[in-house]
Structure 1
């Protein structure tokens, strides 16, 4: 298991000594997933939070009519879970799928609680992660309410240039709240302007 990426990620916010590092790593489980494999299904109890080492994942909500709404993408160096359901150990509201072959490091809920007890500075680390996620989602909500679809698409491209190359047009459209056809017309207009 190559843990260098997750340790580098953590070191941006907290410093660990060798004992704390070893304890943290002992709680992680490596999981390899294939393209289109689901790591969480709606209504399944959400037991893990996953750190993406390689690959791309997508969390989406599937409504009763079968329409998918993408909530987030996770690229290498990102965490992903259905946070409400993970923290409260409730059935998931989201489905999480691998968009390509991916490698994950997973942390179970009881292991996270143990980590907080044994290495309290991880509470700071995950607080920072939650604050950043909340800010990102708040800004996304404001953009969805205030910006036309075309500007939301350009904002997405600026924020996540590498993601746009690895995610289908249908999935990006689902994230932006538009149809794939509408997104195609935005891309066509952009090419004409260039």
Structure 2
């Protein structure tokens, strides 16, 4: 799964592909397990084989705001903390049982100089992440809740059956009651 996903992004020679994928080890995490914790230093990045994780902010009143979901065949990590080597500003936890392929971010970076394909993969993934983030931010301020919900359904067709509705409401920037009303009108 990891190798196939990577090959769709960047053309790797066999040696480099094996060097890169050998950095990853399979880890099983139970629902509710924390992958990255706010206030701590992140060192790991993972590829999601199965399951759903979420990245979220929480304020002083412990109100959570879901930032994004990570699903099958996607990379997950506290990216800004990994890049800046500062403490995490977000939490990432498992909304379902998850099967992940986990690597140490520092070990990936060590491949950059001798294996430009790895650096290119990282750049393309960062660009894709940035584009998704910007698109989502624009949607949050320019679209009505029902439009954001329609986009969510299109982009994450199976997610509603896997996670609680209040997580979806938080992601959409609405209350669970508002989400129920939107769903009732569909």
TM-score > 0.5 by shorter chain: yes
Alignment gaps of 5+ in structure 2: none
Q: How far off is 1:178 after superposition? A: 0.7
SS in 2 for 1:27: coil
Q: Cα deviations across residues 91-110 of structure 1 (Å, max 9, x unaligned)?
A: 11111111111111122121
Residue 89 of structure 2 is matched in structure 1 by 93
SS in 2 for 1:45: coil
Q: How far off is 1:12 after superposition? A: 0.6
Q: How far off is 1:117 after superposition? A: 2.5
Residue 68 of structure 2 is matched in structure 1 by 72
Residue 132 of structure 1 is matched in structure 2 by 128
2:109–2:119: 8 Å Cα contact kept in structure 1?
A: no
Q: Cα deviations across residues 26-81 of structure 1 (Å, max 9, x unaligned)?
A: 21122110011111111110111111011111111111110100011011101111
Residue 33 of structure 2 is matched in structure 1 by 37
CA RMSD of aligned residues (A): 1.2
Residue 166 of structure 2 is matched in structure 1 by 170
Residue 43 of structure 2 is matched in structure 1 by 47
Q: Does 1:27 align with 2:2?
A: no
User: C-alpha separation between the residues in 2 aligned to 1:38 and 1:115?
Assistant: 28
Question: How high is the TM-score relative to the length of structure 2?
Answer: 0.95
Give the length in aligned residue pairs: 186
Structure 1 runs (4+) deviating above 4 angstroms are: none
Q: How far off is 1:82 after superposition? A: 1.4
User: C-alpha separation between the residues in 2 aligned to 1:110 and 1:158?
Assistant: 35
SS in 2 for 1:76: coil
More helix by share: 1
Residue 142 of structure 2 is matched in structure 1 by 146
SS in 2 for 1:69: strand
Which residue, out of 70, 80, 100, partners 1:104? 100
1:87–1:109: 8 Å Cα contact kept in structure 2?
A: no
Which residue, out of 108, 111, 114, partners 1:115? 111
